[in-house]
Chains A and B, each alone.
Chain A
Amino acid sequence: MTPQTHPLLEMRGIVKRFGAGVLANDHIDFVVVQGEVHALLGENGAGKSTLMQILYGMYQRDAGDIYVDGLPVDISSVSQAVAHGIGMVHQEFMLVEPFNVLENVVLGQGRVALAPARARLLALSAEFGLDVSPDVRVEDLTIGQRQRVEILKLLFRGARLLVLDEPTAVLTPTEVNGLFEVLRKLVARGCSVVIVTHKLQEIRALADRVTVLRQGRVVAAGLCVDETDEATMARAMVGRDVLLTVDLPPMARGEAVLEVRDLCVASGQGIALVNGVSLDVRAGEVLAIAGVDGNGQSPFAEAVMGLRPAQGRVSVCGQRVDELSPGARRGAGMGYLPADRRGVGRVMELSLEANGLLGQQGEFTRARYWLSARRVAAHAEQLIQRFKVRASSAQQLAGSLSGGNLQKLLLGREFSRQPRFLLLEQPTRGLDVGAIESVWGEILEQRKAGAAILLISAELEEVFNLADRIAVMYQGRIMGVLDRASATMELVGQMMGGQDVLGTVAEQTP
């Protein structure tokens, strides 16, 4: 669709300073016209979120002006932003889970008659194809449906400009398509949408124009997406050429390091989450498990590492580990990067030094019980330098690291132990292109060093770039294992959707 030329929102010369040194927004101009999807692209820390939080009245700008419909407006609180028709869907949803959809939508609206509100909600839901029932409790909804409730909330409050902060980070590919359809309907009816993202292919699929930020400045303003390409956008974002594909040098495949046989995991309610998975991962190869999130990947990973009770056999280098504690499995040469790196991977109240020690607290000791302060500190320094963690010192708290830097620290922590087997779960989720590039490089280094790597990823691009072999997981089962040479995106996509293309499940072979 062609964007109309009427500017709905203009932000002119926005400046935001944090403390003395950090200039998060340096005279940013940002214009959104009516009826367009405008992507705001930038690395972590480029100033995207700051700009949007200024727009939504959560931060006060130090300088600059905001115009809505060409008129200057004062936005110094969220309620003022809402009054000007601006709405925002945050990454973490702001919903009351025990309440139903209708209750969530009218929450904070003062006294509302429920019956008309319900009718209006149904009308909005039908108009934009949101397909949400007002009477379902939010806790019973999937993540994708909850996101639609957030959008409904904004529409109900009369939003004309919707800002979505990383809206696809939590969605499955099907849900992403559904969301895009909803957003297209919104712009077709005259709303404008801003998506904050660093995923280039989504911009291509959805956005009309893109504005790129780098280090608090605009480096490309309102480019037409049709007239640019991904390499250009990536270069603008990172400031240099970015390798979006990596070479996978051939490796002589060694013997099986990890052997999993008939692994089953049940949820607390007795539902099978992982259903008879058998896999081998050999030295010097990357075996990727592709699959839509929530098809048993995380329970599988936790079961392999001993963090969740399971049935079945797991061995590393021929040694059975399924009866061992998580600590003993680590001792047997297993390394693990969890998907929930903020909740599981780190202790945010402790220093980088203390976090660098986690999982190896038995190794940096004298006489088994005494930690060697000197060696712990040296280890942390080494991690920070070798893996280029941007931190002021090893004493900095882990809670203050950005996503990419935290991931580098955790990867470094696992890699530095030189494990024989590495389980990497969503290693680049939420990272920007520059960080993804360096994480991929480190993974390939480990492959070269002969580690057996099991990569669980929902990003097909990552799977096809890194994997020697690709397994697809669907509803707790492995739908088949493909060599990279014989795998295509289409084939893997079909298997991710549950089609038994190879006849694997029908034959019940591992």
Chain B
Amino acid sequence: MSRPWFVKRQAVRASAVQQAARLLGAVLAATLVGLLLFLPFDVNPLQAYWTMLSDAFFTVRGLSNTLNKTAPLILVGLATVVAWRAGFGYLGFEGCLLLGAVASTSVALQALPGGPLAAWPWPLLVLVCAMAAFLVGGVWAGVVAWLRVRYGGNEVLMSLMSNYLAVFLLQYLVSGPLRAPGDLPQSARLPISTWLPYLWDGGRAHAGILLALTAALLVWHTMKHLRIGYEWVVVGLNPRAASYGGIPVGRRIMLAAFFSGGLAALAGISDVLGSHHRLLDGMSEGVGFVGMVVALLGKLSAAGVAVSAFLYAGMTVGADSMQRQSQVPSSVVVIVQCLIILFVLASALLDRYRWVGWRRTATPQTREGG
């Protein structure tokens, strides 16, 4: 019988340093494998990588774009953290995001000249838009949670299907009721009084990132220090133990779903009020799905989400500029992104298995039996 490369060990929690080292290792490994993809092109891959990095992070313009892409990713990632930690396997964040965009647009359009909210000042309008989005997204996800808790429906199925509802609802709105005159299916441009402010000159970075970081701080605090965070975690890990401990499992799941949907909807306002300033078809570019990946990369922690969202967004922005400058298709970078995800997720193996590798003849360390 051949000896294994990995041996099982008692589950341990990796320290922050170990986790950082693993993340770095995974990124490095993915980058190295990615080098192969550059072979058919007449470019220096290191040069290409460097272009990607510098354009995403080290120019004002690029960093601004990166931040604008980071904000919705963080918000969807946080939504994933809240829902999944509470044991609610929700996948409908794309729908929440789009409906958040629809809700905030509907409110913001009322502030056009002649509208009922035209006289309202800037901060109040943004606040009202955000509240409307949060409420709509929260209820959208909350309904799925209610159906699961009350009737035992399958939240994975229901939430996936609800995404289609939201996508087509948005298509209907931009090609019908909310359509502005012109060739494109999109709403009218929103009044400036509803825009998220720009952070600095020279780039179009908007305050969405501040919103996202504030939300990350709140989610971190909730999960770590609030009673409701503790109860969510217990419900997610062991619902029987939770109800034994007096936690109303169904109500906690519905509450988690509401907050989760609300957070994902805020990603919609970051896009609409910050980047596009109007509602348009296909605006999310799949952020509602990528955000879940970001959450997994961040090990379902708020801080991890913020970091991995920033890196992920940077790679996406850098890939575009790499394609523009060196004719290497940006899909190369998408492949590297996917490799990073796979390597990082695979590194979780090290929590339960120890790499014995070339010292395979050594005594395997195993879990102690009584």
Contact = CB atoms under 8 A, between A and B. Distances in A.
Contacts of A200: none
A137 to B, nearest CB: 26
Highest count of chain A CB atoms <10 Å: which of B1, B244, B370 = B370
Interface residues of A, number: 55
Interface stretch (B32-40, B115-123, B137-145, B245-253): B245-253
Interface in A316-337: 325-331, 336
Contacts of A77: 1
A340 B244 CA distance: 11
Given A76-B1, A373-B225, A397-B11, A359 B369 contact: no
Contacts of B59: none
Interface string B234-250: 10011011011111100
A181 interface: no
Contacts of B230: 354, 357, 361, 371
B365 A18 contact: yes
Given A347-B234, A354-B230, A330 B11 contact: no
Interface residues of B, number: 30
B94 interface: no
Highest count of chain A CB atoms <10 Å: which of B226, B244, B247, B366 = B244
Interface in B211-268: 225-228, 230-231, 233-234, 237-238, 240-241, 243-248
Interface in A224-239: none
B370 A44 contact: yes
A361 B234 CA distance: 11
A346 B234 CA distance: 9
27 contacts: A22-B368, A24-B369, A47-B370, A48-B370, A325-B246, A325-B248, A326-B245, A327-B245, A327-B246, A327-B247, A328-B246, A330-B246, A331-B246, A344-B241, A345-B244, A354-B234, A358-B244, A359-B246, A361-B227, A361-B245, A362-B227, A362-B246, A368-B227, A371-B226, A371-B227, A397-B11, A399-B11
A45 B244 contact: no
A475 interface: no
Contacts of A369: 226-228
A350 to B, nearest CB: 7
A359 B243 CA distance: 9
Highest count of chain A CB atoms <10 Å: which of B10, B248, B364, B366 = B366
A338 interface: yes
Interface string A441-469: 00000000000000000000000000000
A46 B370 contact: yes
A60 B356 CA distance: 16
A344 B241 CA distance: 4
Contact of B243 (A24, A44, A307, A371): A307
A347 B237 contact: yes
Interface string B5-24: 00000110100000000000
Contacts of A343: 238, 240-241
Contacts of B363: 17, 60, 62
Interface of A: 17-19, 22, 24, 44-50, 53, 59-60, 62, 76-77, 305, 307, 325-331, 336, 338, 340, 343-350, 354, 357-359, 361-362, 365, 368-371, 373, 397, 399-400, 402-403
Given A345-B241, A347-B238, A357-B230, A397 B369 contact: no
A349 B87 CA distance: 14
A111 B257 CA distance: 51
A349 B365 contact: no
Contacts of B11: 397, 399-400
Contacts of A357: 230
B225 A371 contact: yes
A31 B237 CA distance: 44
A370 B369 contact: no
Given A45-B370, A399-B11, A307 B227 contact: no
Contacts of B245: 326-327, 330, 358-359, 361
A158 to B, nearest CB: 22
Nearest to A354: B230
Dominant SS at the B interface? loop
A50 B365 CA distance: 13
Interface in B315-370: 363-370
Contacts of A49: 369-370
Contacts of A62: 363
A350 B237 contact: yes
Nearest to A20: B365
Interface string B127-168: 000000000000000000000000000000000000000000
Nearest to A362: B227
A326 B365 contact: no
A67 to B, nearest CB: 21
Given A305-B244, A370-B226, A400-B11, 17 more contacts: A44-B370, A48-B370, A50-B368, A60-B364, A62-B363, A325-B246, A329-B246, A330-B246, A345-B244, A347-B234, A347-B238, A348-B237, A359-B246, A362-B227, A362-B246, A365-B227, A397-B11
Contacts of A329: 246
B368 A338 contact: no
Contacts of B233: 350, 354
Contacts of A330: 245-246
B350 to A, nearest CB: 16
B366 A59 contact: yes
Contacts of B231: 361
B228 to A, nearest CB: 7
Nearest to A305: B244
B105 to A, nearest CB: 34
A60 B7 CA distance: 12
A299 to B, nearest CB: 15
A331 B241 CA distance: 17
A326 B364 CA distance: 45
Interface string B45-70: 00000000000000000000000000
B227 A326 contact: no
Given A349-B237, A371-B227, A399-B11, A344 B366 contact: no
Contacts of A349: 237
B248 A358 contact: no
Contact of A24 (B238, B241, B368): B368
Contact of A50 (B237, B243, B364, B369): B369
